[in-house]
Amino acid sequence: MTTALMDGTSCPVLLLGAGGHAKVLLSLLRAVGVDVLGVCDPALAVASIASWRGVDVLGGDEVLEQFDVEQVGLVNGIGQVLGSSLRRDMFLKLTARGFHFPSLVHPSAWVDPSVKLGDGVQVMAGAIIQADTTIGVNSIINTGVRIDHDCILGSHIHLAPSAVLCGAVSVASESFIGAGSVTIQGVSIGQCGIVGAGATLVKDLPAGHVVTSASVRIHESKYVSRPEKT
């Protein structure tokens, strides 16, 4: 896979956010030669920082008003962490305004041609996604993730580094699959389900529940999806 913009678009992009996830995305964009017009980050703007990792700091989110939604793509550099809906809310707010988030694939990742990626899906270095898998919008497939055949993933999901989904796994929207975890074939994970780092999931996980590596017991999660306060 040698192209970053999987939906066929070729417009320049703006990067939203300047944290750790944004750093990794900037490396991806540079690796495939995508034109990054600048970064939008309120904290950098308040601190009067003009340049971040060689990219112009344009200001906070308000600068998006200056751009034509048909002429620029957005890259969601906000990471997905437990207990926060900021990444999801930003995506929904800006797509409602007409902006487009292209799907991105690192050149070292393998994505089978039959795979379907929703808008804003980000596939990081070394990931493998096998045949007839579908991934919903705004999801993160992080470094070294393995997704086997016929998996169905909803929207706003994060698969952390080196997570493994065996064949025909179903993951509902807004779930979090922790680093180094393994989910065996045919298992279903309900909405907002959490598979902890290093855990092995061998049976269905109900919506809003979590399984951890410390215990195979499945219990209700304390994390629920709520809009961020504005």
- pTM recorded for the entire structure: 0.90
pLDDT at res. 82 = 83
Q: Which of 96, 125, 148 is the last residue of a domain?
A: 96
Within 8 A by CB and 6+ apart from 155, the residues are 118, 136, 137, 138, 139, 173, 174
Q: Which of 60, 79, 96 is the last residue of a domain?
A: 96
Our count of domains for the chain comes to 2
Whose tokens are 């109900």? That residue is 206
Under 8 Å between Cβ of 207 and 191:
yes
C-alpha–C-alpha distance, residues 176 and 140, integer Å: 10
Give domain status of residue 45, yes or no. Answer: yes
Give domain status of residue 8, yes or no. Answer: no
pLDDT at res. 218 = 58
Give domain status of residue 217, yes or no. Answer: no
Share the mean pLDDT of the chain: 92
Q: Which range of residues forms the domain containing residue 69? A: 13-96
Widest CA span in the chain: 51
CA dihedral 7, 9, 15, 16 (to 10 degrees): -60
**Lowest-confidence pick of 154-168, 187-201, 210-224:** 210-224
pLDDT at res. 3 = 37
Q: Are residues 55 and 126 in the same domain?
A: no
* Band of pLDDT at residue 221, cut at 50, 70 and 90: low
Report whether pLDDT(228) > 60: no
Q: Are residues 109 and 207 in the same domain?
A: yes
Q: Which of 96, 131, 160 is the last residue of a domain?
A: 96
**CATH number where 170 lies:** 2.160.10.10
Q: Are residues 37 and 111 in the same domain?
A: no
Under 8 Å between Cβ of 88 and 30:
no
- Side-chain-side CA neighbours of 193 within 13 Å: the count stands at 24
Q: Which two tokens stand for residue 187?
A: 């298992």
**CATH number where 21 lies:** 3.40.50.20
DSSP-derived secondary structure for 182-204: EE-TT-EE-TT-EE-TT-EE-S-
Report whether pLDDT(229) > 60: no
Q: Are residues 110 and 150 in the same domain?
A: yes
Report whether pLDDT(224) > 90: no
pLDDT at res. 47 = 93
**Lowest-confidence pick of 15-29, 131-145, 200-214:** 200-214
Residue range 106-123: mean pLDDT, rounded:
98
pLDDT at res. 84 = 85
Q: Are residues 170 and 200 in the same domain?
A: yes
Report whether pLDDT(72) > 90: yes
Distances (CA, A) of 127 to 4, 146, 227: 14, 6, 30
Residue range 202-210: mean pLDDT, rounded:
96
Residue range 98-124: mean pLDDT, rounded:
98
Report whether pLDDT(219) > 80: no
C-alpha–C-alpha distance, residues 221 and 191, integer Å: 11
Position 67, amino acid: F
